[in-house]
Structure 1
Amino acid sequence: MEIAKSRELLARQWVKVQPSVLAFIIASSPQFSDAEDLLQEVAAEVALRFDDYDPKRPFLPWAIWIAKKKLADFYRSHQRDRLLCVGESIDALAEACNRVQGMMSEEQQALRDCLASTSGRTRDLLVLRYTQEMKPRHIAEKVGMTAASVRVALSKIRTALSKCVKSRLDLDAR
């Protein structure tokens, strides 16, 4: 794989899974400061080993596998032998992180689908608020509404999107 494309793939994959990897490390380490250090070690190891990653497989389990190795090294180096069943606990936690990441991906896809079905003023308001990051009063000036009307419209749009996402997830679950 071309180096620039490989770096881009690494960056995109890491940004997606980093919160889950951090949550896994925080839950598995004794102190937050240890978790911060471990996350940096995992990020470096992921970058060093990225050529070994198979892009046809999910990235999060691979990154968690590296995190588990770094955690094992951490506990060995700190002689934390008083912690029993750490391996089983860490494995269960890793599996939970993988499940949560999968659920988040399904929700994100459902939201993308729901957003794709919007049009007209709804689409315009969403773009102005969330893509252009405009405040309701600036949106109001731009589209000829009051700020209060913009806030109400955005609230209704968010509610409709939430219902749409739940509906799509329910359909997928069947």
Structure 2
Amino acid sequence: MDETTRQATRQWTLAQPAVSAFVASAVRDFRDRDDVLQNVAIAVIESYESYDANSPFVPWAIGIAKRQVGLYLRRRGRDPLVFDDDAVACLALAFDEEAQARSAAFDFLADCIGRLDGRARTLIDLRYRDDRKPAAIASQLDMTPNSVAKALQRIRDQLRECIHQKSFEADIQ
């Protein structure tokens, strides 16, 4: 596999849940949905060389999905429950905005996690980086599983508040 195909595959793997949700919002039949999503995946891989690496991948992939959904809808044009082009464009815009918001939230999350220290950072690293369950963490840190679970909940609340605050500050600017 060449490097371009490898990069395209990596990017597609990360974008696929958002693109799949977009396709599912416009294509109601699950068999057709799978076919459209496969066509999107093929189109993304085939046109990856035209992708500008300086722009976000998910909106670019949703743009390709929008065209594939449009082709599907034109083929199904006589179906009264099919969206028109304007409705699909609105859905694409909404998914693009959501993808950008999630991208920003992930950036904020990384910064908020970076601000954790001491036991909070250790607990988060053990739970999410090392994928350990509370019982395993508890035995390692000489805690009870219940206290680990409660501490993780408090840390998640703290991270959620940090992300919310950063989002609010970003909206003000």
Query: What is the SS of the residue equivalent to 1:55?
Result: coil
Identity, in percent, stands at 34
Corresponding residue to 2:18 among 8, 17, 20: 20
In structure 1, give the amino acid aligned to 2:17.
Answer: P
Match of 1:100 among 92, 98, 105: 98
1:68-87 alignment runs, 5 A limit:
68-80=66-78, 82=80, 86-87=84-85
Contact 2:73 2:82 (C-alpha < 8 Å) held by counterparts: no
Partner residue in 1 for 2:153 = 155
1:59 equivalent in structure 2? 57
- Residue 101 of structure 1, CA deviation: 0.3
Partner of residue 112, structure 2 = 114
Deviations 1:55-112 (A, max 9, x none): 1223223212221222222233334364686110111110000000011011111111
Task: After superposing the two structures, state which structure 1 stretch, 35-44 or 145-154, moved more.
Answer: 145-154
| Residues 35-50 of structure 1 aligned to structure 2 (within 5 Å) | 35-50=33-48
Q: Give the equivalent residue in structure 2 for 1:138.
A: 136
**TM-score normalised over the length of structure 2:** 0.90
CA RMSD of aligned residues (A): 1.9
Q: How many residues align?
A: 172
Moved more, 4-13 or 139-148: 4-13
Gap change, CA 1:131 and 1:79, over 3 Å in 2: same
Structure 1: which 4+ aligned runs deviate by more than 4 Å?
A: 81-85
TM-superposed deviation, 1:30: 2.8
Unaligned runs of 5+ in 1: none
Change (3 A) 1:40 1:145: same
CA 1:135–1:85 in structure 2 vs 1: closer, same or farther (change >3 Å)? closer
Structure 2: gaps of 5 or more residues? none
- Shift of residue 47 of structure 1? 0.4
The Cα shift of 1:173 comes to 1.1
In structure 2, relative to structure 1, the CA distance for the partners of 1:144 and 1:37 (3 Å cut) is: same
TM-score for both structures, normalised by structure 1: 0.89
- The 2-side partners of 1:28 and 1:85 are apart by 7
Contact 2:59 / 2:96 at 8 angstroms: preserved in 1? yes
Moved more, 107-116 or 5-14: 5-14
